[in-house]
Amino acid sequence: EPEVTQTPSHQVTQMGQEVILRCVPISNHLYFYWYRQILGQKVEFLVSFYNNEISEKSEIFDDQFSVERPDGSNFTLKIRSTKLEDSAMYFCATKSGNTETQYFGPGTRLLVL
Amino acid sequence: GENVEQHPSTLSVQEGDSAVIKCTYSDSASNYFPWYKQELGKGPQLIIDIRSNVGEKKDQRIAVTLNKTAKHFSLHITETQPEDSAVYFCAANTGNQFYFGTGTSLTVIP
C-alpha cells in the first residue's frame, strides 16, 4: 500500500538555525499538508498546498515558515530561524483530488536546543 | 474557527470489553469526521471516517456515530484487543484543513 514518507525521522538543531523537513507524497496525490504536534498536545494544522501554492495557513505558520515542492516530488517545510518552541513532531499529510481522506506520514521529531 | 473537544483523555478497558470515545465540534459547516489511531512513534493512521450525510458507519469491530444536530460524534470499539492500545484522535474537516481533538490514550488490559 502506498505510504507518505518523511525525512529525517529525527532532527536536533540549535536555536536560530534553519531546518528543512522533507515529505514524499503518495504518487497521485495533489493536496499536501503540514501539521505539528507538540509533545502531549493535539495535532495542529500549519498549512495546505495545492497547485504549487499555499491554499490555507494557520496563525502558527508565520514568516519563519515556508513550503515548496522543489522538484515535483518532494514537499518541504522550511523553518528559517528555529525557536525553542518549534520543538515538536511535524507530520506531512497528502490526499488525492476526489476524497477528503488525508494520509499521514510517520513524522519528523524536531528538537531545538 | 472550528473547535473540537474529545473525551476522555485516558481510557482503560479489559480485553474483550467495549471502548467509547466522544467528540464534539462547534462549526456546523464541518462535513467530514475521520478518526485516527496513533501508535507510539508513528504518524496518525486513518481507521474510520464518516460524512455528514450519514448517521452511522461500521467496519468490523469499529463503528462511528454522528449526531449533526447535537454536533457530536463517537468512536465505538467492540471486543477490544491489546493491539487496540494507542492514542485515538477525532477530527473535523471544515474546508481544507482538519481540526483535531486532544486525543484519547486507550489501554486494553489483557
pLDDT tens digits for range B18-65 = 999 999 999 998 999 999 999 987 889 999 999 988 899 999 999 999
Per CB-CB distance under 8 Å, the chain B contacts of A106 are: 41-43
Task: Give the Cα separation of B100 and A79 in Å (integer).
Answer: 23
- The whole-number pLDDT of residue A44 equals 92
- The whole-number pLDDT of residue A28 equals 86
Do residues A7 and A75 touch, judged by C-beta distance below 8 A?
no
Per CB-CB distance under 8 Å, the chain B contacts of A100 are: 32, 34, 49, 51, 93
Residue with cell 505510504: A3
State what percent of residues in chain B have pLDDT above 90: 82
pLDDT (tens digit per residue) in A19-30: 999 999 998 898
Do residues B16 and B79 touch, judged by C-beta distance below 8 A?
yes
Cβ-defined contact of A45 to B34 (cutoff 8 Å): no
Size of interface A-B (CB pairs under 8 A): 52
- The whole-number pLDDT of residue B97 equals 79
Cβ-defined contact of A42 to B89 (cutoff 8 Å): yes
